[in-house]
Amino acid sequence: MKALVTKLVSSNAGVAALALRVPVGLTLAAHGAQKLFAWFGGYGLEGTGQYMASLGLEPGFLMALLAGSAEFFGGLALALGLLTRPAAAVSAFTMLIAIFSAHIQNGLFLSNGGYEYALVLFAVTVSLAITGAGRLAVDNVIARALTTK
């Protein structure tokens, strides 16, 4: 088990992963805060739940809670570099759901409600799931603690 966790948190990605992780993590956290808490002009769980139900994602309230939590907590974890690979994988899955349930029918471009933005977030989170946290991450502290014991 220790070897699995060590492999999960270890990364040689350098500063490139840091440059992706922090802004994307904060962006995801802000979008999650819109869904969960109605911050930043969002609709909160009730409004987001109604929207998700209108897309066929039922029960809407639960789907809003799951998506908002994945974005908010996953985004914070990415920004901190805490369990980066699992946080990135959950975020990537959330973006896939967003692409295929809410945006694909509108085409590529965001100006038409398309999926380009969610696709970029998906690509970055897949990259982070593969490479790990890189520099200046809580994952590095965890990895060092596991290898010194």
Query: Taking the complete model, does pTM exceed 0.75, yes or no?
Result: yes
**Radius of gyration of the chain from Cα atoms?**
16
Model pLDDT, residue 148: 84
pLDDT in tens, 104-132: 999 999 999 999 999 999 999 999 999 99
Confidence of residue 149 (pLDDT cuts 50, 70, 90): low
Confidence of residue 3 (pLDDT cuts 50, 70, 90): confident
